[in-house]
């Protein structure tokens, strides 16, 4: 099992550009999450999904969109990138409930200039 994979590892965007951060898991997990981690800070939940076709907002959803068309994939879309979105983005998954262990991907380091 590859676990949770994320691409790209690094990206530099100009203000106003858009991009999609990819996340995939091969553990047949129902729950998937997107977090952002600002330098020296904790994790903030952006969006989450409890299954294919179902997504919901987390703590900091503004400026982002998600979709979940399959169990395996949970892409995060940034529209009109802003410097405030400079952060490390982690995707995670868990089997069936929020109390199940969350498995994190390696992260995408995004800089918006």
Partner 1 sequence: GQQVMQIPQYQHVQEGEDFTTYCNSSTTLSNIQWYKQRPGGHPVFLIQLVKSGEVKKQKRLTFQFGEAKKNSSLHITATQTTDVGTYFCAGELNNNAGNMLTFGGGTRLMVKP
Binding site for partner 1 (CB under 8 A): 31, 33, 35, 40-45, 48, 50, 56, 58, 90, 92, 97-99, 101-107
Cα Rg, the chain, nearest whole Å: 13
CB of 92: closest distance to partner 1 in angstroms? 8
CB of 80: closest distance to partner 1 in angstroms? 26
To which residue do tokens 């983005």 refer? 89
**Which residue, 14 or 101, has its beta carbon nearer to partner 1?**
101
**Which residue, 17 or 88, has its beta carbon nearer to partner 1?**
88
Closest CA to 34 of 12, 57, 11: 57
Cα–Cα distance for residue pair 62/95, rounded to 1 Å: 27
Question: Taking a C-beta distance cutoff of 8 angstroms, is the pair 16, 73 a contact?
Answer: no
**Which residue, 22 or 104, has its beta carbon nearer to partner 1?**
104
């Amino acid at each position: 099992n590859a676990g949770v994979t994320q691409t790209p590892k690094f990206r530099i965007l100009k203000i106003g550009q858009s991009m999609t951060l990819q996340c995939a898991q091969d553990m047949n997990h129902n729950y998937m999450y997107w977090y952002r981690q600002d330098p020296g800070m904790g994790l903030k939940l952006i969006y989450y999904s409890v299954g294919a076709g179902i997504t919901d907002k987390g703590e900091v959803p503004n400026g982002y969109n998600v979709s979940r068309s399959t169990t395996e994939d949970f892409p995060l879309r940034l529209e009109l990138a802003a410097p405030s979105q400079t952060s490390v983005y982690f995707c995670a998954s868990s089997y069936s409930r929020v109390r199940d262990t969350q498995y994190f991907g390696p992260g995408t380091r995004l800089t918006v200039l």
